[in-house]
Amino acid sequence: RNLPKQAVGAEVRANLPRLIDMHLANLGLFQVGDTKIGDHTVRGISGGQKRRVTLAKGLVSGANVLFCDEPTSGLSSTDAEVAVKRMKMFTKKMGVSIFVVIH
């Protein structure tokens, strides 16, 4: 669609709660949606969940292309597999192109 920039912003803002809930559910984060992320002094969500929150932030912004540098670094093999599967799902389901560096 060729909408004015202000209209796109207003449309995104109007749909933001729905978009957030959809991405939280798609990334397996809905159950921790009201949990603090936490840091080294405050316990919060897990490392894998933090990585998925970062991915959700990129998706909620409406980006068509995401660049992910080491999205699985420091994750357990299970969490890394979940992260990669979710990224693959978004490329198919939402038409988002995701470039990933993993080594």
Percentage above 70 pLDDT, the chain: 89
Per DSSP, helices labelled H in the chain are 5-26, 47-60, 77-93
Contact 51, 71 (CB under 8 A): yes
**Closest to 47 in 3D by CA, of 67, 5, 76:** 76
**Closest to 100 in 3D by CA, of 63, 74, 76, 69:** 69
pTM for this prediction: 0.65
Tens digit of each residue's pLDDT (9 = 90 or more) over 8-33 = 567 667 877 887 888 888 888 888 88
Whole-angstrom distance, CA of residue 7 vs CA of residue 27 = 28
pLDDT attached to residue 3: 45
Contact 49, 57 (CB under 8 A): no
Architecture of domain 5-101: 3-Layer(aba) Sandwich (3.40)
pLDDT attached to residue 2: 46
Q: Hey, where are the domains in the chain?
A: 5-101
Whole-angstrom distance, CA of residue 90 vs CA of residue 52 = 12
Confidence class for position 97, pLDDT limits 50, 70, 90: very high
Percentage above 90 pLDDT, the chain: 6
